[in-house]
Amino acid sequence: MVKVKARELRGKKKEDLLKQLDEFKKELSTLRVAKVTGGAASKLSKIRIVRKSIARIQTVINQTQKENLRKFYKNKKYKPKDLRNKKTRAMRRALTKHELSLKTHKQQRKDRLWPMRKYAVKE
């Protein structure tokens, strides 16, 4: 089998990808048997190509799966942790804008009883 390209794989359905993945795995096992029994050099060099092709197929499957999950959770209130924005630990733990704007009853009372003084500036 020839080397596969990721952009060719992206258009395929998941069933086709899994079928192709299974074929590559079978081919890899036969190539490994040939390696042990002392096969031709062309077969030995083909092992690397098949391994990389398997990796490409699995990568495309995982990426499409994650993309579909992102679409599913797009406008939901809660998301799985792996789909959330990473940012930094401090940013994740920081108060939200709403939480920052809240005032205690004592502070609200102070603001009401002693409002900010207004001064007229003379020029």
Model confidence pLDDT, tens digit, residues 24-67: 999 999 999 999 998 788 888 899 999 999 999 999 999 999 99
Q: Give whole-number Cα distances, 59 to 24, 65, 68, 93, 122, in Å.
A: 14, 10, 14, 32, 71
**Average predicted confidence (pLDDT) for the chain:** 93
The pLDDT assigned to 1 comes to 66
Q: Would you tell me how many other CB atoms lie within 10 Å of the CB of residue 50? A: 22
Among 1-10, 15-24, 74-83, 86-95, the range scoring the smallest mean pLDDT is 1-10
Higher pLDDT, 44 or 114: 114
Q: What is the DSSP letter of 38?
A: T
**What is the arithmetic mean of pLDDT over 60-89?**
95
Structure tokens at 52: 């990389």
Q: Give whole-number Cα distances, 109 to 14, 97, 99, 104, 105, in Å.
A: 62, 22, 19, 9, 6
Q: Report whether 54 contacts 21 (CB < 8 A).
A: yes
For the question of whether the overall pTM of this predicted structure is more than 0.85, the answer is no
The pLDDT assigned to 98 comes to 97
